Amino acid sequence: MDKRFGAEGKLGIAGGGLVSEESQRNLQIAEDLYRKGKYTDALPHVQIALKDRNNFDAIIQLAYLTSDLSLSSSFSTRALLISRLGADCFDDNGPCVGRFGDSGLLLTRPYMRVLQGLGRMCFDAKQYEKAARTIIETLRLNPSDELYQRWWLAPLLIRTGRFADALFFCQLWIHRDVDRSVGTPIRGGTAFRAPSDKLLPPETEETYAQRAPCGMMHSAALAAFRLWGRSPQTAQLLRIAARTNPGILAKIMARRARPTEGKQHAPMNGPDDAHDYLWTAQDLWMAPDVWNWVNEDSAVRALILKSCGRPECAAQETEATQFKRCSGCQLVVYCGASCQKTDWKRHKADCNQRVEIKKILKNIWKNKAMDSEVCVLQGGLDEWPTVL
């Protein structure tokens, strides 16, 4: 989310309170132009913003515009924070580590955004080890993960061969995300130890299948497979992953093309959440040994193959993604347009509600100010949508 709509913006100290109004104003113009894809128009405003060397966000915006990773560390961001917060502000036992980005340390928020941007750019440049190190540092500074960097780390650890660390990390966060009474993992889950190799009891398996985040659950299954091969433990994790979001493995089994960009405003375990996970990790699942492991699991295939969404129709898929999704909600599938059109009267209310929720989430991500009444689910589609 744009800092203008967070604590910094509400308190009138966007940029951590260090940035001049002129620099911040030009950066906001540049960021708005960047979101619209007007990169050439954005560049002059970034260059003006950079005249204030305290504007860390301008550094990372320029790096995005030029795809130059070296720019992200070209200004002495750490030195500036040390000068303001003390020589021990980056020390594990100092007064700041664990609190970076918190409301009590707004001065550190621009620095955290620089780390976030650097991790994303390293991922895009396929510098996976550097991306992983950057996210691990982000989680050390803010274990509660307000920037949601944990969703990136597990696939990065798998890419770099750190399978045990990836599984341990996933196990900690899955447990915490399912049971909110559990405290934040130490160092954001990066105080790595040996992962558990125990089978989950049936009641825990059911709870995870209903409530675990799909991306983390799939990464846990993949890391376990890379660590242990085919085993009862990996079969259980794969089965749970398939239940959290069947759309992920369905597209893998169907050998669909990997998404080229993330949506990043996805409701948990919905179609867009599946899209984002596939964007970060689908190629890892397409390795022949991994793909065969998934495809040959009859229990997983039974979970993934879907029935037509019209209750009166008995048609069922024989191959993954054989049926087409409703282009509105993207949750219900139909064996054909005839069944979808017949079912539209029944499906319309749920479909429109899902569409409105997606619009609201997208607007929040794009930082469009909304009145409270916008959040009220209103009318919707008058015509039944096409199938994809």
Mean pLDDT of 60-89: 74
The yes-or-no verdict on residue 300 having pLDDT over 50 is yes
With CA atoms as reference, report the closest residue to 360 among 344, 377, 343.
Answer: 377
Quick one: pLDDT band at residue 224, thresholds 50, 70, 90?
very high
Sign of CA pseudo-dihedral 96, 102, 104, 107: positive
Which stretches does DSSP call E strand in the chain? 324-325, 333-334
Q: How many C-beta atoms surround the C-beta of residue 36 within 10 A? A: 10
Using one digit for the tens of pLDDT, what is the confidence trace for 356-388? 877 776 666 555 545 443 444 344 444 444 444
Whole-structure pTM value: 0.77
The yes-or-no verdict on residue 209 having pLDDT over 80 is yes
With CA atoms as reference, report the closest residue to 112 among 142, 155, 89.
Answer: 142
Q: How far apart are CA 341 and CA 49, in angstroms?
A: 53
Q: CA angle at residue 74 from 73 to 78, to 5 degrees?
A: 55
Contact of 326 with 309, CB cutoff 8 Å: yes
Using one digit for the tens of pLDDT, what is the confidence trace for 231-284? 999 999 999 999 999 989 999 998 989 988 876 656 678 888 899 999 999 999
Quick one: pLDDT band at residue 330, thresholds 50, 70, 90?
confident
Using one digit for the tens of pLDDT, what is the confidence trace for 7-63? 555 444 455 556 788 988 898 898 888 878 888 898 899 889 888 877 778 877 777
Using one digit for the tens of pLDDT, what is the confidence trace for 338-362? 899 898 999 998 888 888 877 776 6
pLDDT, residue 293, reads 97
